[in-house]
Amino acid sequence: MKVRVTVGVLIAALAVYFVLLTGRAVALLQTGEVVGILLGVGVLILPLLGVWLVYSNLRFGWETEKMARELDADGLLPDVSHLPRRPSGRVDRDAADSWFEERRAEVEASPEDWRAWFRLAYAYDVAGDRGRARETMRKAIELHA
């Protein structure tokens, strides 16, 4: 629940920022000067880009959460509680790598199964590779749709 509130507050702050930025863009466009118009168009692109980024990240989160609920209902949600941990709380690197290899084998065995891709994305995250985790989760979302 805390995360949802934080996200809501951040989106509200971004909305205010986007409105203010759009106002500046309109003011620049109204100058009638070539430089002002070009700057206004450039500044107007920023809120549009921001809205798209916020929406795409929210959609990613919604879809990931939806798939996690489905996996949990089927009893297939990844569980790493049995893996040894370092003093920092992170999963031991060798154990994470071994668990990752098992998830990769699942994907190779069933490349069209979104559940296998979801678990592989989770394995990437546990191994500390956030970039690949997001890319792999996008593949899971694509297959789930």
Q: Where are the domains of the chain?
A: 2-74, 93-144
pLDDT in tens, 10-56: 999 999 998 999 999 999 999 999 999 999 999 999 888 988 999 99
pLDDT in tens, 80-124: 888 899 898 888 888 888 899 999 999 999 999 999 999 999 999
Task: Specify whether the CB–CB gap between 67 and 114 falls below 8 A.
Answer: yes
Q: Is it the case that residue 6 has pLDDT exceeding 80?
A: yes
Question: pTM of this prediction?
Answer: 0.78
What 3-state DSSP class applies to 122? helix
Per-residue confidence (pLDDT) for residue 108, from 0 to 100: 96
State which fold the 93-144 domain adopts: 1.25.40
Per-residue confidence (pLDDT) for residue 25, from 0 to 100: 92
Ramachandran angles phi, psi of 116, nearest 5°: -65, -40
Calpha distance 144→68 (Å, rounded): 11
Calpha distance 39→54 (Å, rounded): 23
Q: Is it the case that residue 1 has pLDDT exceeding 80?
A: no
